[in-house]
Amino acid sequence: MTHANERVFLWRRFTLREGLLLGFCATFIILTRAGLRLHLHLPGHVMFFTMFFYVLARGCVPKIGATTLVGLIVSLASILLGMGTKGPMVFVKFVLPAVLVDLAGIIYPAFVTGMLACAIVGAVASAVRSVSDIGLEWLSGMEEEIILRKTVISALMFALYGGLGSLAVPSIVRRLRKNGLIDQGTGEER
């Protein structure tokens, strides 16, 4: 919740408290990515918690650019912590799905409280991540048909996990709102 006496800290829209909260969402994504990388080796599974925290960040700070900020912080922190195996492509793979969640928030601000809407947004935003490899593959001389098939396979896997992760958000947002911990979601966009 934004208090009346809070100063705007970043991008003319986020207070320091909101910025920190979004930073903590990025921390949780890093923690879950680090945890999963040690235990599971299923392709696409990282999107489960990534998308959960992206959509939850949008629910906690219902402002345009909130998820993009989380994506940007995760990208920079991943590079600093040595988790950016894909080099500069880390920005594309984290920021692109985040921008899509923000776009969904502009089109339908109340999507964080609907399970179906959350699942669709989560699945679509996760699937978009698979395009991050296309540029390199095309430059490497890979055939377009192979690129397309590979992208479809990885998009399906990302979408499956991203959609599942986003499904849990509405109930958590409702409980946080009921206890007055976050904005009540009046649909007001800033």
Contacts of 11 (CB under 8 A, 6+ apart): 65, 69
Rounded-to-integer distance, Cα 63 and Cα 70, Å? 12
Exactly one of 50, 51, 52, 183 binds other proteins (CB under 8 A); that residue is 52
Cβ neighbours of 106 (radius 10 Å): 9
Q: Map the footprint of other proteins across residues 97-156, applying CB under 8 A.
A: 133, 136-137, 139-143, 145-146, 149-150, 153
The one among 4, 38, 106, 107 contacting other proteins by CB under 8 A = 38
Contact by Cβ (8 Å): 158, 127: yes
Q: Residue 41's closest CA among 157, 145, 134?
A: 157
Using CB under 8 A, which of 2, 13, 28, 114 touches other proteins?
28
Q: Which residues bind other proteins (CB under 8 A)?
A: 6-7, 9-10, 15-28, 30-31, 34, 37-39, 43, 52, 56, 60, 69, 72-73, 76-77, 79-88, 133, 136-137, 139-143, 145-146, 149-150, 153, 168, 171-172, 175-176, 181-182
